[in-house]
Amino acid sequence: MRHIGLALLAAALLAAMGLEGKTVKTAGQEVALGPGRGRMYVSLPADSVNTGRAVVLCPGGRYGYKEMVSEGFAWMPYLNGLGYAAIVVDYTLPAGNPALPVGDVEEALRTVRRRAAEWGIKPGEVGIFGFSAGGHLASYVATNSRGDARPDFQCLFYPVVTMDSAYTHLPSRENLIGRGASPADVRRYSNELNVDSTSPRAFIGANANDVKVPPQNSINYYLALIGHGVPASLHVYPDGGHGWGLSKQITFRRQIMDELEAWLRSF
């Protein structure tokens, strides 16, 4: 629990400094994902606590910007304290071309596995965290990518999952696939429709009073996972709204972090 306190203190300082959602000094080792691609930032745990696990983080921002602090860099000390390598992806924004962010995150996962020995990572224990629109990106890669580009587990926080106009987050949908998206693209990027029995296990956290991204996104994804026999854990909290990351104080912070850690210890 000491590590949670340190992470929350660091995140609170970032928020108090007015850094959330703004250009900030990066953290960790910067690694380019290739010509014309995004970048990722790698922070490794101390050898004394290293579990060999790694997490690739996808910040949200409605596919129009990226919350690199509260949904990225602020998680580094917390995850490192648990013995996890933390890799924050500064992915390319789609502007109507979903292949851009998807390709960056896939390449980040491949890079982590290629450099696993160098970084003290077990190639078969590489997960993905996603927040809001970053949760859509994470769950898309989890359900559609294959081989070294597929994560071994997924943790989604107040995620956009569907492109169904009935309960999607419209700005995220328009930034990802455009206003005139075809029915085929709507289906292709509705991740709840693409789950199968090989999809990675999942932890999903949502808030009942989220007025930006309806919790139905999380609930329907959870139902799809368990419907295919995939281990999944859904946590819908009555309060918290949207976009809390690690830089915003919310009523159920302690419960969320305790349940996340318990889930991570369960496999």
Write out pLDDT tens, residues 195-242: 999 999 999 999 999 999 999 999 999 999 999 999 999 999 999 999
Task: Tell me the two tokens of residue 137.
Answer: 């990106």
Residues 81-106: pLDDT tens digits? 999 999 999 999 999 999 999 999 99
Percent of the chain with pLDDT over 70: 90
Q: pLDDT at position 249, please? A: 83
Residues 108-128: pLDDT tens digits? 999 999 999 999 999 999 999
Q: pLDDT at position 36, please? A: 84
Higher pLDDT, 27 or 79: 79
User: Is residue 25 very low, low, confident or very high in pLDDT (cuts 50, 70, 90)?
Assistant: low
Looking at the DSSP assignment, which residues form a beta bridge with residue 42? 29, 87
Q: pLDDT at position 156, please? A: 98
Instruction: Give yes or no for a contact between 7 and 78, defined as CB atoms under 8 angstroms apart.
Output: yes
Which residues are within 8 A (CB) of 200 and not within 5 positions of it... i.e. 6 or more apart?
127, 142, 150, 151, 152, 153, 154, 230
- Kindly tell me if the per-residue pLDDT of 14 is higher than 90: no
Give the mean pLDDT of 30-52: 96
Q: pLDDT at position 16, please? A: 39
Q: What is the pTM of this model?
A: 0.90
User: Is residue 15 very low, low, confident or very high in pLDDT (cuts 50, 70, 90)?
Assistant: very low
b/e 142-177 (16+ beta carbons within 10 angstroms → b): bbbbeeebbbbbbbbbbbbbbbbeeebbeebbbbbb
Measured distance CA(28)–CA(69) in Å, rounded: 12
Residues 132-181: pLDDT tens digits? 999 999 999 999 999 999 999 999 999 999 999 999 999 999 999 999 99
